[in-house]
């Protein structure tokens, strides 16, 4: 399994964070005892996967950088919430991911300046 994000990401540090996170450590320990203890989760060597995607701790300091890469880099092209979410969920997973992506995209200054609203304004025009 390969993760296709820029090489600027320190995967060793992310792996270390994952090993130190108590919740992920408990899931990993439960899976070592019983592989069906957490549906959707699996172990591949030392890596914890959720439905084939690399699991990151919810509190990882690398999440904002990764979300920026999936949304704002040349490949991301400042896509909307759904495209950014689909692009990132193809390879990564953390609890609350959808909410984090939505918040990041709605706060993106480039998107707010350059994207238009697809809904008609409320009031007189909505007859």
Whole-number mean pLDDT of the chain? 83
pLDDT category of residue 3 using cuts at 50, 70 and 90: low
**Phi/psi of residue 102, each to 5°?**
-60, -45
Q: How far apart are the first and last CA of the chain?
A: 53
Residue 3 belongs to some domain of the structure: no
Q: Taking residues 92-106, what's their average pLDDT?
A: 92
Residue 119 belongs to some domain of the structure: no
Residue 66 belongs to some domain of the structure: yes
Residue 123 belongs to some domain of the structure: no
Domain count, the chain: 2
Q: Taking residues 22-41, what's their average pLDDT?
A: 93
Together in a domain, 43 and 19: yes
Share of the chain above pLDDT 70, in %: 80
95 pLDDT higher than 70: yes
pLDDT category of residue 117 using cuts at 50, 70 and 90: low
CB-based burial label for 48 (10 Å; 0-12, 13-18, 19+): buried
> In which domain, by residue range, is 27 found?
10-56
Together in a domain, 97 and 72: yes
Strand ranges in the chain using DSSP code E only, listed in sequence order: 41-44, 47-50, 53-55, 92-93
Together in a domain, 74 and 97: yes
Together in a domain, 30 and 46: yes
Together in a domain, 52 and 66: no
Question: pLDDT tens digits, residue range 38-83?
Answer: 999 999 988 899 999 999 999 998 898 888 888 887 666 788 889 8
33 near 19, Cβ under 8 Å?
no
pLDDT at position 23, please?
93
pLDDT at position 7, please?
47
């Amino acid at each position: 399994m390969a993760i296709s994000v820029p090489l600027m990401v320190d995967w060793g540090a992310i792996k270390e964070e994952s090993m130190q996170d108590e919740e992920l450590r408990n899931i990993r320990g439960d899976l070592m005892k019983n592989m069906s203890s957490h549906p959707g989760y699996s172990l591949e060597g030392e890596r914890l996967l959720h439905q084939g995607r690399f699991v990151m701790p919810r509190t990882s300091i690398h999440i904002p950088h990764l979300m920026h890469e999936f949304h704002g880099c040349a490949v991301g092209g400042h896509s909307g919430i759904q495209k950014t979410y689909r692009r990132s969920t193809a390879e990564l997973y953390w609890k609350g991911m959808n909410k984090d992506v939505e918040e990041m995209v709605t706060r993106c200054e480039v998107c707010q300046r350059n994207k238009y609203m697809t809904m008609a304004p409320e009031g007189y025009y909505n007859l």
